[in-house]
Amino acid sequence: MNFTKTNPAFTLAEVLITLGIIGVVAALTIPVLTQNYKKRVVETRLQKFYSTINQVINLAEIDYGLREDWYNLNDVDTDRNGNPVAGNTPRTKWVNKYIVPYIKGAAADEVSFDGITRPIIYFADGSSLLCLHQTSLADWVYFTSNPYKCVGKKLEDVWLYGECSFKFIYNPAAEKTGSYKYVTNSFDTYTFGWDGTNENLYSSCRSEGAYCATLIQHNSWKIPDDYPKRIR
């Protein structure tokens, strides 16, 4: 009896079809996996930053008294031991006096755009914190990744929130009325002007993005499935 030997190898056409299927699957799944990873990074860093910065405020209160008493640009030239505080502007000195010493691996620098010199704090995990305005200590932007990759080398597009930069507010001295109704004494996600509704959080996050961090915070520090922006 004669048996014919069969060739179990794939034909070239079959190999190409298989590779094509693998390529299509990869093209569909890799972007999803990448986006999910970025979301987890943002969620983790936002929550970690919120916890850390408020621990810092508590520690600074031990050394300098109630936060309301040093929420100003007075007496920033020297620390509690009488040593000079580094910085070219009062806000940078404020950061170097009340924030940086209490965070391991943190370092402050200054960046200039729009004709204003602003203090920025770089953290060990690659994130950073920027003080926004020239005379106020209230408005801050937290970058969950490299700020220069997020909004450009000159940070001129810093106002685009909700993708890799998130707005925070710190104003413990404000009366909790009017636009400050939902502003707490903590270093908190941005709530100035918020009307207290979830709809307002979504509409703001969808447009200018100021309330995006608050939206995530109110969802237990998880980015909602219907989050209106794409995380970068």
Residues 171-203: tens digit of each pLDDT: 999 999 999 999 999 999 999 999 999 999 999
The closest of 161, 160, 211 to 183, measured between CA atoms, is: 211
Can you give the pLDDT at residue 48?
98
CA-CA distance, 214 to 174, in Å (whole number)? 19
Can you give the pLDDT at residue 1?
53
Residues 70-93: tens digit of each pLDDT: 999 999 999 999 999 999 999 999
pLDDT band at 27 (very low <50, low <70, confident <90, very high): low
Dump the DSSP string for 49-111. HHHHHHHHHHHHHHHH--GGGS-SSSS-SB-TTSPBPP-SSHHHHHHHHHTGGGSTT-EEEEE
Q: Which residues pair with 6 in a beta bridge?
A: none
Residues 99-123: tens digit of each pLDDT: 999 999 999 999 988 888 999 999 9
What's the mean pLDDT in 5-24? 64
Can you give the pLDDT at residue 210?
96
Which residue ranges make up each domain of the chain?
A: 12-217
CA-CA distance, 172 to 61, in Å (whole number)? 12
Average pLDDT in the chain: 89
What's the mean pLDDT in 209-215? 97
CA-CA distance, 36 to 125, in Å (whole number)? 19
Can you give the pLDDT at residue 151?
80
Instruction: State what percent of residues in the chain have pLDDT above 70.
Output: 84
Can you give the pLDDT at residue 2?
55
The closest of 219, 217, 182, 218 to 50, measured between CA atoms, is: 217
pLDDT band at 232 (very low <50, low <70, confident <90, very high): confident
Q: Which residue has the tokens 């450009």?
A: 152
CA-CA distance, 180 to 98, in Å (whole number)? 23
